[in-house]
Every structure is written in C-alpha cells, then in structure tokens.
A and B are shown apart, each in its own frame.
Chain A
Amino acid sequence: MNSPNGYRRESSGGHPPYDHPAYASTHKRAPRNAPVRLEHTLSEITGPRFEMLAPGENDLTHFDGGEALGERIIVTGRVLDEDGRAIPHTVIEIWQANAAGRYAHAEDQHEAPLDPHFAGIGRVITDDHGAYRFKTVKPGAYPWRNHHNAWRPNHIHFSLFGPSFATRLITQMYFPGDPLLDLDPIFNSVPDPAARERLVAKFDIEVTIPEYALGYRFDFVLRGRESTPTTG
C-alpha cells in the first residue's frame, strides 16, 4: 500500500522550546530528554474530523439574553498551509478573557468584574476558501504571577486541527501596538522575532464596520505537505 506523503517539520526558530526559563510554569513540566523523531505514517497523516464537536458559535458579543460590555471587534482571516493552499472545513475553537481581563472560569481569581453577558467561548468552521470570521469584544490585559508585576498582553486563544494529527496547533493571537508584548515571556518564547510577529493581528479598516466594530485580520498557517512526486 502506498500512503500519501508526510507533513513538513516545525520551522527552525519558529516555535517555542519546551524549556523557557522566563516562563516559570515550564520549570517542572518541560521534559529533560529530547523528543524522539518520528517518521510520519498513517498515525500522523490522518486526523480527527468533527462529528463530536458542538455546532459553531461565531458571535461572542451576546450571552444569556444580553450584550457583552467592551469594544466590539471583528476577527477574520484564512487558514492556509505553507504552500498558501486554503484549508477548508476545519474547526477553530476560540476562548478569551472579557473586556476587563477576566475569564469566566472558576480558577480565574483576578479582581476584575465578570460580565454576565460574555462567556468568551466560540467555535467556527472555515469555508470552502479556508476563510473564517467571528465577532467578539477585545479582551482586556490581566495580571499573572509569573514574576513581579507580570501582565499578559491582550490575546485570544485558538485551537486548530487542520487535516491531520501532524497539523494540530494551539496558539494565541495578539493585538498590534500592545506595549506589553515586549515584556511577555509567552509571546517572547518564540525565538525568531519574525515568527513572533506572525502572532500579531493586523488592524484592517476594510474589515472595520462603520459605527459598529473595529476589524482585525489574522491568518493561520499550518504545516504543509512534504513535496511529493506529482500524482495528478
């Protein structure tokens, strides 16, 4: 039996290491042994589809009968592979803090108000062209205990599957011009500064809806396939 080819590897400097001393939570969780390289076979080139995930939610600005507080934003873009090919019909799971910088989560003890009309959870599926779009409010910055006076920059969490086990990605999107980015050990865990910039959305006046919401554009690039002999 012939299998389709595997996927490309992590780009050098393009992803964080496991051990990143500036991010204290890595100290006891980063493995000490280097990972064992695995040649891709069926286990890696196949991956889950989404029968089991609940239907999408692309409007985070309303919850429990009311409208969330904060600055409304539109986030849109495409999911692509490294060759620029669209990845259609793939799920994107979304979560974030509210406009005050507080998650609707029992373990978030930050002294900032919860918003009864903001759950901070979304899920979208890319269309035939790999495009996605959702509406939310801009998440607030919040303090954390990594080091003295540590604050996370404004960010939205994303979880993507792509076409295979090898393309699985969980990441965070940041906002342009945020003064906290230079100080954030998680953002700065990505060694290559150019790769880091790929985590920052671009403000886009064309996406912005007059008198309603600011627009941001953010594309995801998942691993592409190894170059293959032409198979037609």
Chain B
Amino acid sequence: MNSLQTPSQTVGPFFKPALIRSGNESLITSKSRGDRITIAGRILDGDAAGVSDAMIELWQANADGRYDHPDDLQEKLIDPEFHGFGRAATDELGGFRFYTIKPGSAAGAGNLLHAPHINLSIFARGLLKRLVTRIYFPGEQLNATDPVLNTVAPGRRSTLVARIANSDQPGALRFDIVLQGENETVFFDV
C-alpha cells in the first residue's frame, strides 16, 4: 500500500540545543586521507544581512570519491577515518566554517566522472523546507564537463564555485550563500 510523504516544516529559531554539537563542523581526524581544506562563508538574506539562525549540513565523498554508504557500489576504498557528514549553525553574523578534505570525483550518470563537490543542506527560520546547493572547487578541470554545472545557466555557475580566500593558503576556501536577490546562489530541486 502506498503512503504519502510527511510534509516539511521549518526548523524554526530554537533548534541549536537539540541539533548543534561543538565538533560537528569538523569532518576529519588526524588520520583522514586527503588534502585538508577549510570552507568559510556567510549566509545572506535578500537585504544582504547575515542569517544568524541557520543550520548547514555537509555531505561529501572521501578523498577517493567514495561515499561512506552501502549504495555507493564504486570499487574504491572506504576511509574509516572519514564519514563525510558535518553540521554547524551560523553565528550572529551569519558566518560558518567547516574543516574537511577535498573530495575525489565520484561516478555519475553514464559513467561520466562528476567534478569534485560537496552537497549542502540549509535549514533556517523562514525556510519551510531545506535548500540544497553544492560547493565546487576553483581551478578544477572537471568543472567544464560536469553534468550538473552544465545544467545551470552560465551566468549563475560561479555561485556554486568556492573562491580561494588567501593565495598563501590554497586550502582556505570561501563560499558565501545568498538566499535571495542579486547573485542569488543556485539551489537544486532534488
């Protein structure tokens, strides 16, 4: 018998004690494989004001492009020191920071390699359901052929690519999320 989906409702403003734990913004241990990166940014609303009561979740593959999940059938190694999930709340200025590794490429439709990316879910007061977006990496050759980036209007693709925040530290990336208005981030219907 078929059942019908339970509707989404907003996370509201009071989720932090239940959902946020210090340390969950780091996806790595000292033994995780891969190149360390930090991703910092802000979530901005339609007035360019920081959204101080949002939650961001990351989901990503490991350094070899393997997701830690039984439905990933790629013949690639699991990293016992990397599970690929992170979560953080924004601060009073709408800022966030994650500590992770750059993911490898995972296979996509038609065995085409997808460009490395991190999947994001965003929840907040005023969002009746989650927003989904992706972080891609600057200077990545596979970006040019990535089937998802190529479904996005060319003028908006740059909203999905992190920037190098500091040229002395190639692992320090910046990714701002604009919920509404000029330079609005591309969000996905999954």
Once the chains bind, are B47 and A28 in contact (CB under 8 Å)? yes
Once the chains bind, are A84 and B179 in contact (CB under 8 Å)? no
A230 within 8 A of B: no
Once the chains bind, are B18 and A95 in contact (CB under 8 Å)? yes
When distances are taken between beta carbons in the complex, the residues of chain B under 8 Å from A195 are: 4-5, 7
Interface secondary structure of B, over-half rule = loop
Chain A residues numbered 184-232 whose CB sits less than 8 Å from any CB in chain B: 186-187, 189-190, 194-196, 198-199, 219-223
When distances are taken between beta carbons in the complex, the residues of chain B under 8 Å from A198 are: 4, 6-7
Complex CA distance for A47 and B16, rounded to whole angstroms: 22
Q: Which among B32-40, B105-113, B167-175 touches the partner chain?
A: B105-113
Chain B residues numbered 59-91 whose CB sits less than 8 Å from any CB in chain A: 59, 61, 67-69, 71-75, 83-85
Query: How many residues of chain B have a CB within 8 Å of chain A?
Result: 76
B1 within 8 A of A: yes
Once the chains bind, are B24 and A107 in contact (CB under 8 Å)? no
Once the chains bind, are B85 and A52 in contact (CB under 8 Å)? yes
B2 within 8 A of A: yes
Once the chains bind, are B6 and A18 in contact (CB under 8 Å)? no
Write the chain A residue with the least CB distance to B84: A48
A170 within 8 A of B: yes
Which listed residue, A33, A49, A80, A163, touches B83 by the CB 8 Å rule? A49
Q: Provided the pairs A35-B187, A157-B15 are in contact, do residues A46 and B71 lie with their beta carbons within 8 angstroms?
A: yes
Which listed residue, B111, B179, B189, touches A30 by the CB 8 Å rule? B179
B141 within 8 A of A: no
When distances are taken between beta carbons in the complex, the residues of chain B under 8 Å from A168 are: 57, 121, 130
Write the chain A residue with the least CB distance to B181: A32
With A120-B17, A196-B7 already in contact, 13 other A-B pairs whose C-beta atoms are closer than 8 Å: A2-B73, A16-B129, A25-B10, A26-B126, A35-B187, A36-B151, A36-B188, A41-B106, A43-B59, A82-B4, A172-B10, A195-B5, A222-B6
- 11 sampled A-B residue pairs with Cβ under 8 A: A3-B107, A15-B8, A27-B46, A29-B126, A36-B152, A38-B188, A94-B18, A107-B53, A120-B18, A122-B18, A159-B19
Q: Which 5 pairs, one residue from A and one from B, show the smallest C-beta to C-beta distance?
A: A25-B126, A48-B85, A46-B69, A95-B18, A16-B128
